[in-house]
Amino acid sequence: EPEVTQTPSHQVTQMGQEVILRCVPISNHLYFYWYRQILGQKVEFLVSFYNNEISEKSEIFDDQFSVERPDGSNFTLKIRSTKLEDSAMYFCASSDADRGITPLHFGNGTRLTVT
Amino acid sequence: GNSVTQMEGPVTLSEEAFLTINCTYTATGYPSLFWYVQYPGEGLQLLLKATKADDKGSNKGFEATYRKETTSFHLEKGSVQVSDSAVYFCAPAQGGSEKLVFGKGTKLTVNP
């Protein structure tokens, strides 16, 4: 069964550094998402992406965050200047239709640790 | 916007015990409802879903019924196995919206 793959599985970075989290969604999917989960807290929506542009974003997704689909297969999340509170598990997801009916397929996540 | 309240964990059961994980939600209109599961070291996987009132979603022996009158979607399984040990997330979604709203998750540990 097709999978969403995320790399790396664990990223350690220093505060203030830029990080790029990478995702390869399922190939025929059209909708792409990033969620994050701070340890012990809820899984939170960050951003959704469709037709090469952001379709919705949360309050968490401020100017430090950006997403890109650079080559038709990868979907990346960039954090320009990481803060300690960005430490979390980041999940990429994709879907082939309007998500109100069709479920999301999630990757295994990237654990980001900011020191 | 939508919100969800999920039973606090962790939950520890013996094999073959009955499981209930409560979930209630608030939403505008009638959202589709999902349960996702996260096994150790893995991503979130869809467990089951229900798209309209009184629908029952089922998979792998788990069931949940969409109760509009109580805005609930409780997860049940009659006889849990060690392999069911995981974190379970309740999530309503709104058709046309881009957001799933997750609960905090309930960690289930099943002992042999």
Chain segment A32-43, per-residue pLDDT in tens: 999 999 988 888
pLDDT at B41 over 60: yes
pLDDT at B56 over 70: yes
Q: Which two tokens mark A39?
A: 């340890």
| Torsion sign over Cα A110, A80, A47, A83 | positive
Phi, psi dihedrals of residue B83, rounded to the nearest 5°: -70, -10
Cross-chain residue pair B31–A100, CB shorter than 8 Å: yes
The 10s digit of each residue's pLDDT in B77-109 is 999 999 999 999 999 876 555 568 888 899 999
Spatial distance between the Cα atoms of A66 and A72, rounded to a whole number of angstroms = 17
Smallest Cβ–Cβ distance between A107 and the set B43, B51, B94 belongs to B43
Residues of A in contact with B45 (CB under 8 A): 106
Tell me if B86 sits within 8 A of B39, measured CB to CB.
Answer: yes
Residues of B in contact with A99 (CB under 8 A): 93, 97-98, 100
**For chain B, what is the mean pLDDT?**
90
What pLDDT sits at residue B73? 96
Smallest Cβ–Cβ distance between B100 and the set A6, A45, A109 belongs to A45
Spatial distance between the Cα atoms of A9 and A94, rounded to a whole number of angstroms = 18
Q: Sort strands A31-37 and B62-65 into parallel, antiparallel or unpaired.
A: unpaired
Q: Angle A31-A36-A38 (CA atoms, 0-180°, nearest 5)?
A: 170
By C-alpha distance, the chain B residue nearest A5 is B43
What pLDDT sits at residue B82? 97
The 10s digit of each residue's pLDDT in A50-104 is 889 998 899 999 999 999 998 888 999 999 999 999 999 999 999 887 545 567 8
CA distance A101 to chain B (A): 6
Residues of A in contact with B41 (CB under 8 A): 108
Residues of A in contact with B105 (CB under 8 A): 42-43
Cross-chain residue pair B43–A44, CB shorter than 8 Å: no
